Amino acid sequence: FEFYKILNEIKANPSLAVDSKITFNTDLSAERRVTIDRGDNAEYRFVINLGGEGVTLREADFDPTNSYKVVFADEYEDESTNLRKWGFVILKK
């Protein structure tokens, strides 16, 4: 229940509307990791591990100048910034 509650709260944001801006951030993507920015000024950032092994998120994934904070994640260890296989993290400014 909590999983769907959080998803519905995120989905209600206009930055994630069907017609909102979406950018595949090639600078932050890698072989097994995809980074997608959504909304004006990249209000949301999605980092998804598509590989069969974990990846470590870099400081640039969080872009400290934009003050990204984790709002939802799965298979993510906050302390080590390790995104396990098939995991994702949703960040918001």
- Single pTM value for the model: 0.74
pLDDT band at 76 (very low <50, low <70, confident <90, very high): confident
Rounded Cα gap, residues 38 and 14, in angstroms: 10
pLDDT recorded at residue 65: 60
With beta carbons less than 8 A apart as the criterion, state whether 46 and 88 touch.
yes
pLDDT recorded at residue 17: 65
pLDDT in tens, 19-72: 778 888 877 777 788 888 888 788 888 888 887 788 887 776 777 666 888 888
pLDDT recorded at residue 22: 82
> 3-class DSSP state for residue 4?
helix
pLDDT recorded at residue 81: 75
Is pLDDT of 83 > 80? Answer: yes
- For residue 1, the Cα-to-chain-centroid distance in whole angstroms is 21
- For residue 40, the number of C-alpha atoms closer than 13 Å in the C-beta half-sphere is 2
